[in-house]
Each structure stands twice: as C-alpha cells, then as structure tokens.
C-alpha cells in the first residue's frame, strides 16, 4: 500500500504543474543574429554610397556645374557679337527652313548664355542640366546628319563655320566632344545639390521630421479588461 501511494504521489508530481515548471525552466531558443546593414548596391539608405562618397558628392557637383557652365559661356560669347556669321553657320547645316535660320541664330547664343550663368550660379541646377543635355543631343544629331547627308563643313560651334574639303571634316571628334559634355549634365540631373549654389541658399534642406508618438492605453482600461 505504501509503495502504491508513493508511486501515486510521484505520478501526481509529474502532472500538469510539473510539466509547466519544466517548460518554464527550459531556456528560450536563441534569436537569429540580426542581418548586417548592406552598404553595397541596393535600394537601402546606404546603397552604393558610403560616408566618403556622400561628402564628396557636393564638390563633384560643383565641379560639374562650373565645367558645364563655362563650356556654354566659352561657345556663346563669340556668337553674341556676330549674329550674321552665326546665321551663316546655322544655314550651312541645311536643316532649318529659311525663315527660321535668322531667329534661331539670334536666340541661340542667348539661350546658351542663360544656361551657362544659371549653372555657374547653381540656380535650378537639375532643370538647367536637363535642358543642357537636351540641347547637346540636338547638336549631336545635327552633326551626325551632316555626315549622313555627305555635307562637308565645320560645325561652327564657336559661331564660325564653312565648307571644307571632303575628308577634312571632324564630325567624329565633334560628336565625342559633345558626348563628353553630356557626362556632367547627366551627373547634375542625378546629383543636383552642390556647394556654393543659389539652390542651397534659397531652398535649404529642412530638418527631418521626428517620429509620431504612439498613444498608449491607460492603466484603468487595462485593469477593467483584466477584471472582465
């Protein structure tokens, strides 16, 4: 009888209460290690760029602004005082109708002047860079069309152009030059923020908004739900 009671007591000790205690005493499974932030390519906050790249980007954009803006000034200034010579250069391309040659020749240097000054000042950088890229593509298309139509002239980029002998054109170099100018334009479309720009002075970056606090339930509500 005593042996049976002891066995019964042991079985009772091994009942649901004992199982709960054993479960509570067992160690919790270890959480999986947190994934390290990816600083390589991707769409995360640090995708493809580190602190050094972020610090250098505004200076690179400044250099691109000054280079592209200086290019427009270099090519437009000789044409400002020689509208008739520029009109003859535009006419040599044989693309525009006769009635549009003179208006284009007069407007072209002032458009290039505006692009150059806006880029150097850093005002509306992304938009001006996009317009610069579009105008460069127009120029590239015009030069390519000269070779395709068998017309032998100089491009007249500085306001003076004329006929040249076959085999003495520089269309390939002219196209490569303008493609090179597309590189800073594309960079400024991608990264328009730069040092010493009017954009930064007129439109400063706003501080990031803080997190919105989450409303918490009151202790009274918790107690009432617990009593229920």
Q: What is the pLDDT of residue 20?
A: 47
Q: What is the pLDDT of residue 28?
A: 52
Work out the angle at residue 41's Cα, subtended by the Cα atoms of residues 36 and 43, and round it to the nearest 5 degrees.
Answer: 85
The domain ranges of the chain are 55-199
Gap between the terminal Cα atoms of the chain: 47
Q: What is the pLDDT of residue 3?
A: 47
Dihedral angle of Cα 168, 171, 176, 182, to the nearest 10 degrees? 140
Q: Are 159 and 173 in contact (CB under 8 A)?
A: no
32 in helix, strand or coil? coil
Full pLDDT tens readout for the chain, 228 residues? 444 444 444 444 445 444 544 444 455 555 545 544 444 333 444 445 578 999 999 999 999 999 999 999 999 999 998 888 899 999 999 999 999 999 999 999 999 999 999 999 999 999 999 999 999 999 999 999 999 999 999 887 876 777 888 888 999 999 999 999 999 999 999 999 999 999 999 987 766 666 766 767 655 555 555 454
Q: What is the pLDDT of residue 49?
A: 58
pTM of the model: 0.70
Q: What is the pLDDT of residue 205?
A: 73
**Which residues are CB-neighbours of 119 under 8 A, at least 6 positions away?**
65, 66, 68, 69, 72, 125, 128, 129, 132, 188
């Amino acid at each position: 009888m005593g042996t049976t009671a002891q066995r019964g007591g042991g079985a009772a000790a091994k009942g649901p209460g004992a199982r709960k205690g054993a479960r509570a005493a067992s160690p919790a499974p270890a959480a999986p290690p947190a994934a390290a932030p990816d600083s390589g390519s991707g769409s995360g906050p640090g995708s493809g760029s580190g602190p050094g790249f972020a610090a250098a980007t505004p200076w690179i954009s400044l250099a691109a602004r000054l280079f592209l803006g200086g290019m427009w000034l270099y090519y437009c200034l000789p044409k400002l005082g020689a509208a008739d010579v520029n009109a003859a250069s535009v006419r040599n391309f044989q693309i525009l109708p006769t009635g549009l040659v003179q208006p284009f020749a007069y407007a072209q240097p002032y458009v290039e002047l505006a692009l150059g000054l806006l880029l150097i000042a850093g005002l509306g950088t992304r938009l001006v860079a996009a317009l610069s890229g579009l105008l460069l593509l127009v120029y590239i298309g015009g030069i390519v069309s000269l070779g395709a139509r068998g017309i032998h002239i100089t491009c007249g980029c500085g306001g003076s152009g004329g006929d040249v002998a076959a085999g003495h054109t520089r269309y390939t170099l002219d196209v490569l030059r303008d493609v090179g100018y597309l590189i800073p334009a594309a960079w400024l479309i991608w990264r328009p923020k730069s040092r010493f720009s009017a954009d930064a002075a007129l439109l400063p970056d706003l501080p990031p908004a803080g997190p919105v606090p989450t409303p918490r339930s009151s202790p009274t509500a918790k107690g009432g739900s617990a009593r229920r």
